[in-house]
Amino acid sequence: GQQVMQIPQYQHVQEGEDFTTYCNSSTTLSNIQWYKQRPGGHPVFLIQLVKSGEVKKQKRLTFQFGEAKKNSSLHITATQTTDVGTYFCAGLRNQFYFGTGTSLTVIP
């Protein structure tokens, strides 16, 4: 089936460093959503991007949707220990296809 690839699978950063996770689809997506799942928890919705080239910011988080609507990225500036968790993208075609997630560890 349709897959949304997400890299990297794991990322360890020192507190204060930046972090980026990337999602790529082989086909055009209608929109893309991003979720955060804390260890032992359930995914929590962060944001939805719909338009080609769209950029949205939430405090230290910046989300981008590619011009071709096939890729997206989440960038966190100056990570904090509260950013720990797994970040998933979910691209929509006929249904949502979740990426495999990027597990972020922040070292104090």
Partner 1 sequence: DGGITQSPKYLFRKEGQNVTLSCEQNLNHDAMYWYRQDPGQGLRLIYYSQIVNDFQKGDIAEGYSVSREKKESFPLTVTSAQKNPTAFYLCASSIYRFNQPQHFGDGTRLSIL
Residues in contact with partner 1 by the rule CB under 8 A: 1, 6, 9, 30-31, 33, 35, 41-45, 48, 50, 88, 90, 92, 95-101
Q: Closest distance between partner 1 and the C-beta of residue 88, in Å?
A: 6
Whose CA is closest to 33, among 10, 81, 25? Answer: 25
Q: Closest distance between partner 1 and the C-beta of residue 15, in Å?
A: 26
Transcribe 31-91 into DSSP letters: EEEEEEE-TTS-EEEEEEE-STT-EEEETTEEEEE-TTSSEEEEEESS--GGG-EEEEEEE
Is the Cβ of residue 19 or residue 88 nearer to partner 1 in the bound state? 88
Q: Closest distance between partner 1 and the C-beta of residue 87, in Å?
A: 11
Q: Closest distance between partner 1 and the C-beta of residue 14, in Å?
A: 25
For residues 60 and 24, give the distance between their C-alpha atoms in angstroms, rounded to a whole number.
22
Is the Cβ of residue 16 or residue 41 nearer to partner 1 in the bound state? 41
Is the Cβ of residue 31 or residue 62 nearer to partner 1 in the bound state? 31
Cis amide leading into 39 (omega within 30)? no
